[in-house]
Every structure is written in C-alpha cells, then in structure tokens.
C-alpha cells in the first residue's frame, strides 16, 4: 500500500471515529434526558422507589442502547456520505484533474441524487459550462495562431524570394525596381497585419476607452471615402453617394473611422474594374444609418454567418490580399459604441453593409465625464 493510500485510509478512520463520538454524545444526551424525565414522572405518579440493582441495570441497558444507536447512526451516515457526498466529489475531482492536464473535452455526468436540485448537480453544471468555454477559447487560440502563422508566412516568403533575386548581379534596373516594389508591398501588408492584431487585442481587452464627442457624420464619411480616391480611379469604379446633411452623432470619431475605412477598403477591393460602390447616410428616428454597397463578387449565406469572425475569409484561396481582421475590428468597434451592423449579400451581385448608430439630437452637446 502506497504512502498516499495509507494517509487517506487513516484520515477516513479518524473521520469515522469523530462522527461516532459526535453521534454518541448527542444520543447519550438525548436518551439521558428522556430517561431522567421518564423515571422522575413514574416515581411521582406511582410512588416507586428504585433499588440500587434496578438502577444499575437500567443504566447499563441505557448505555448499551446509546452505543448501539450511535453505531447505527454512524454506519447510516457513512453510507449516506459514501453515496451522496464522496461519489460526486470524486467525480468532480477526477474531471478537474483531467481538465488541469489539458483534456478540455472533459465533461462530468450529473449526479442525479434524491434531490433534483442537488448542490453537486449545480456545481457539475457550472463545471461543464466552464469546460465548454475553455474548449472554445482553446479552439480560437489554436485557430488564431494557425491563421497568424499563415498570414505572416506568406509575405515573409515573398520578401525572402525577392530579396534573394535582388542579389543577382545581372538584374536590369526595371527588374530591380519591380522586386523592390514587391518587397515594399509585402512589408506594408505585414505592418497592417500587426497593426490590426494590436488594435483588435486592445479592443477585446477593453484597453481602448471611447471618447465621445459631437460631430458631423456626413463629413467624416466624405473624408474617409476621399482617402481611397486613387484606388477607385485606378480600377475605374463609379462612386455613388447619397449622404444626408447635418446628421450628428455622439461617438468616438477615431474608432468610427476604423469602421468606415475598413468597409470602404473591402468594397473597393472586391469590386471588379468598372463596378460601382455606393455610400448612403440616412436618419431613421433616433439612429443614423450608414449603408456601404458594392457590385463585387458577393458572399454566400454560409460565409455571411462567419464574416465578422477573426481571420475568417470567404476566399479560402487567399487570392485577394487581406488578413480577415478588418471586419472583426469593425464588429468590435460597433459593439463598443452600442451600434449594430448587418450584411446583405448575394453571390455574383455584391454586398451591402448597414451600420446603425444612435445620433445626437439637434443642438444636443454631450459633456464628456
């Protein structure tokens, strides 16, 4: 027998003895009080004088009953604890040990004791919920690492290849310029990836606190859209705007600029040459509604369910450059400012993203705390 088993056995014996002593004292006290009251009442009512032998016999008999009842209660309590306490505790301990060893698929079967609302069943239910959440987080972590590795590996491989080719002494000036541009482009892509990862991490860990101020949303949309003028001119994309004037919002302009820049960038990126991108701003009750539409490739219903997840890209071939973080950033920002975002799309016909944020009433100026 191992040392650990001997210690556990000794503890069980000591616990049983302690329970026995507790039951003995309790039953002895109760029976002694009852017997004294009974004998006193009998003596008063019937005038009986008990002899020394009869008193001794009654005392021995009473002590024997106390010992027997104490032993019986101890055994019953031990059986109860064995099935009602030790079994569910052991089941929980085994599950927790598996979880600590990295088996996140561990689940504990409910105890289903006599009481349908057993405290152990409640603990087991919360344990299973925790394990499920941890398993989901581990899956996200694994996917995150895999996706980051993929996104870092591709541009690094391109940079390495072009860097090797630049070392060739017989390159023409045109080739050298082309390779240098390719390296610059991939370096910029890496920088954007790292920037987006840091921004998303800060947003998810609530390290960015929105600073609300009142400003004209239409002007912000126009400024953000103009930043992409070279892109739409190069692809000969037609820009249609329907922006309502004097629509003010109370929000963080820097965070919202992330939303518009990402939506405009995606619309222009996925729209073919000669296509159309539309931007509209309307007031609907207490909300300002921004809609960004394009005539690009569109997305399938299945892709639409995951479009706001980190690193999710409908184009699994990675034919279009991107890292799948833009829309995750957009979703997180919209959630932080208390807005709502939705997407409507049809494959081959384009997509339309709609953002609803609460607008400021005319003349309303919100003071920052």
Give the model's pLDDT for residue 217.
92
Give the model's pLDDT for residue 317.
38
Tokens at 198, concatenated: 């840091």
With cut-offs at 50, 70 and 90, classify the pLDDT of residue 76: confident
With cut-offs at 50, 70 and 90, classify the pLDDT of residue 278: very high
CB 282 within 8 A of CB 295: no
Query: How far apart (Å, rounded) are the C-alpha atoms in residues 281 and 292?
Result: 9
- Report helix, strand or coil for 240: strand
Average pLDDT over residues 274-298: 91
Q: Where are the domains of the chain?
A: 3-103, 213-358
Dihedral sign of CA atoms 242, 246, 250, 252 in order: positive
CATH no. for 213-358: 3.30.565.10
Q: Which residue has the tokens 């987080």?
A: 137
Give the model's pLDDT for residue 279.
94
Give the model's pLDDT for residue 369.
37
Measuring CA to CA, how many Å separate 273 from each of 185, 342, 352? 21, 26, 18
Query: How far apart (Å, rounded) are the C-alpha atoms in residues 95 and 259?
Result: 44
Sort residue 343 into left (φ over 0), alpha (ψ -120 to 50) or beta. beta
Helix (H), strand (E) at residue 296: none
Tens digit of each residue's pLDDT (9 = 90 or more) over 296-312:
888 877 766 667 765 55
CB 292 within 8 A of CB 327: no
């Amino acid at each position: 027998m191992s040392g650990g088993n001997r210690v556990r056995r000794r503890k069980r014996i000591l616990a049983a003895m302690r329970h026995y002593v507790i039951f003995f004292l309790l039953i002895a006290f109760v029976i002694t009080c009852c017997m004294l009251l009974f004998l006193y009442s009998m003596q008063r009512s019937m005038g009986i004088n008990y002899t020394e032998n009869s008193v001794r016999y009654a005392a021995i008999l009473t002590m024997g009953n106390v010992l027997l009842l104490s032993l019986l209660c101890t055994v019953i309590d031990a059986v109860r604890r064995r099935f009602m306490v030790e079994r569910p505790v052991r089941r929980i301990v085994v599950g927790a040990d598996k979880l600590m060893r990295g088996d996140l698929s561990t689940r504990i079967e409910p105890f289903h004791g006599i009481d349908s609302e057993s405290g152990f069943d409640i603990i087991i239910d919360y344990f299973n919920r925790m394990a499920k959440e941890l398993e989901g987080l581990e899956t996200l972590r694994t996917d995150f690492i895999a996706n980051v590795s993929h996104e870092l590996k591709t541009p690094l491989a391109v940079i390495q290849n072009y860097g090797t080719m630049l070392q060739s002494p017989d390159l023409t000036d045109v080739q050298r310029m082309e390779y240098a541009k390719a390296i610059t482009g991939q370096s910029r892509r890496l920088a954007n990836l790292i920037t987006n990862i840091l921004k998303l991490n800060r947003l998810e860990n609530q390290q960015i606190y929105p600073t609300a101020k009142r400003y004209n949303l239409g002007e912000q949309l126009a400024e953000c859209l103009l930043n992409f003028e070279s892109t739409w001119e190069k692809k000969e994309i037609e820009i249609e705007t329907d922006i309502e004037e004097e629509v003010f919002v109370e929000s963080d302009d820097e965070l919202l600029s992330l939303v518009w820049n990402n939506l405009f960038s995606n619309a222009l990126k996925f729209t073919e040459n000669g296509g159309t991108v539309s931007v509209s701003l309307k007031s609907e009750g207490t909300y300002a509604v921004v809609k960004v539409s394009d005539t690009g490739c569109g997305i399938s219903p299945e892709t639409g369910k995951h479009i706001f997840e980190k690193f999710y890209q409908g184009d699994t071939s990675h034919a279009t450059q991107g890292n799948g973080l833009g829309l995750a950033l957009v979703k997180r920002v919209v959630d932080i400012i208390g807005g709502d975002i939705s997407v409507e799309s049809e494959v081959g016909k384009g997509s339309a993203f709609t953002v609803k944020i609460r607008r400021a009433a005319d003349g309303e100026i919100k003071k920052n705390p």
